[in-house]
Amino acid sequence: MSNAAIIENPILRGFHPDPSWTWHNGRAWLATSSFGLVPGLPIHTSTDLVHWQPAAPAIDENMGAKLFLKYIHDDTRGVFAPSIRSIGGALVIVSTVVSIEVDRALADGCDPDELRAMREANGNFALVSHDDGRTWEGPHWVSGAVGNDPDLFVDADGTAWWLAAHQSYNQRWPYQSDVYLRRLDMDSWTLSGPEHVLWHGALEGAVWAESPHLFRHDGMYYLLAAEAGTSRLHAQSVARSSTLTEYFEGNPANPILTHRNLGSRYPVQNIGHCDVLRDDHGRWWGVCLGSRLVEGLSFMGREPFIFPVAWEDGWPVFAPGTGLVPRFVDAHTGRAAVVEPDDRTDTGTDGAISRIPVDQLLRSPRQPGWLWTKVDHTDFAVFAGRARELRIQQTESDYAALTIDPISREAQAIVVSHGTAETVWSGEYSDDIEYSIRLNGSILEFRAESPERQGADDHPAADSTTLTVRTGEVPITGTAAGGYPIPAASSPAAPPTSTLLASRSAAFLSTEEAGGYLGCLAGALR
């Protein structure tokens, strides 16, 4: 089978959570969350769902300032789940900025009227592009909106509606949520009319019904909502109604997609937060988030996975035939595919060294001076170059660091877990040593390598504006249902010119122990 027609999951590696997509001008447009990072709300496009290209992000430095990302409470706040839609020839993204320190923003001289508009919208905003995503207008603060994870739905008569979720006002169980609908004026970006509560989720006692999406099929309205949080119990459900503003009936087969029943050691977990589209050939596809695990731990954050969608008895069937998000999907037939080892489309190559271009690096307004890239392989090393400090970071309070002081000629390896720091190695700094931090499966390694391991033109210290990384995959111990490899705890292999300075369990860098939403970032402070 030709790899040219094979979708391999995840379609984007590393932290790309909360995917939403739409079909626009002959291609799929996929947007994902970015929290406090800039550029933010990254967008990727594809004509075949196999090959994905980055488009201009919706949030550049200027838009990040307008969204007050410098003033989010911590690095797990900021821009939450977007929805991207094609409406009247334009691309529209709706999303939410969560938890701004308003007093600090005012003290810094931010526009009080803009802050007031943001607060009246509870952080909910819209961005609009009339030139296929090259530039974005906004933010348009949606006055009167509450909750988060909004969606934008335009009915057949042209009426626009705002869909979102918030905690129920009269809860019958803890964390019960309301998925609600209100009429939206897209000229003034204001809501009007009553709040129509459409659903609370599929199950009695379901918590955090969120990330709602609304679409039509054969004269019926369909409502998607995820449940049970974005970790191991994550699941996707669907409801339908013949009338838009009436309460929706749940599918008796709910949840229609989850991996929570596969056990904690299954290599892809946290499946949910789905969105659907119909391509130019009339085929239906779904996208969801999931997390790849090593030894039961997730380090790379939540990534987007594609699955086929079929229709039976008026209901969508997600990943028909198996109920699992497959690793490989035939883009022509929409069926799960089996790819022989010689034809595997793994993007990782053991020992592949690359220098990340500066225009692909990320910044956090909360951590000025740092340049970041996403950890996207099970074996991932980042090199210090001329950096004063090097990190692999899950949150601002959970990271591994190498600090270098060229004046005192001292280097230190430090681990910080829940804000508590421990020095695991210190030694004399040498200009002839290339220092690195390696996330090797579930093991953390601090290493020193001779610069001669590479050609002079490839020396990672040659350009202080880039990050140099080495990526690969730890060995595979088996293959799980759905075709996913089961990675070993670590790789025993190391570059011959590399010396191990210190190692320890990397569990403190996992989402499971550190918390948060991002997945690991690798960065350097110049």
Write out the catalytic residue numbers.
18, 210
SS3 content of the chain, % helix, strand, coil (to 5): 10, 45, 45
**CA triplet 396, 15, 416: central angle to 5 degrees?**
25
Buried b (16+ CB within 10 A) or exposed e, 295-309: bbbbbbbbbbbbbbb
Helix/strand number for the chain, H first, E second: 4, 38
**DSSP H or E run through 263:** none
474 DSSP assignment: P
- How far is 113 from 119, CA to CA, in rounded Å? 10
Q: 63: which 2 tokens?
A: 């838009």
- How far is 205 from 343, CA to CA, in rounded Å? 45
Q: Is 523 exposed, middle or buried (0-12, 13-18, 19+ CB in 10 A)?
A: buried
In terms of Cα–Cα distance, which of 520, 518, 521, 522 is closest to 35?
A: 518
**CA triplet 201, 164, 257: central angle to 5 degrees?**
40
Number of other residues whose CB lies within 10 A of the CB of residue 93: 28
Residues 6 or more apart whose CB falls under 8 angstroms from that of 184 comprise: 142, 152, 160, 161, 162, 190, 191
Looking at the DSSP assignment, which residues form a beta bridge with residue 352?
471
SS3 state of residue 448: strand
Q: Residue type for 425, please?
A: W
- How far is 21 from 99, CA to CA, in rounded Å? 25
In terms of Cα–Cα distance, which of 76, 79, 86, 90 is closest to 30?
A: 86
Q: Residue type for 254, please?
A: N
Q: 449 and 498 in contact (C-beta within 8 Å)?
A: yes
- How far is 421 from 442, CA to CA, in rounded Å? 20
- How far is 324 from 304, CA to CA, in rounded Å? 14
- How far is 55 from 86, CA to CA, in rounded Å? 16
Alpha helices by DSSP H, listed for 267-405, are none
**DSSP H or E run through 94:** strand 90-98
Dihedral, CA of residue 364, residue 366, residue 367 and residue 371, to nearest 10 = 10
Q: Residue type for 512, please?
A: E
Q: 102: which 2 tokens?
A: 């308003």
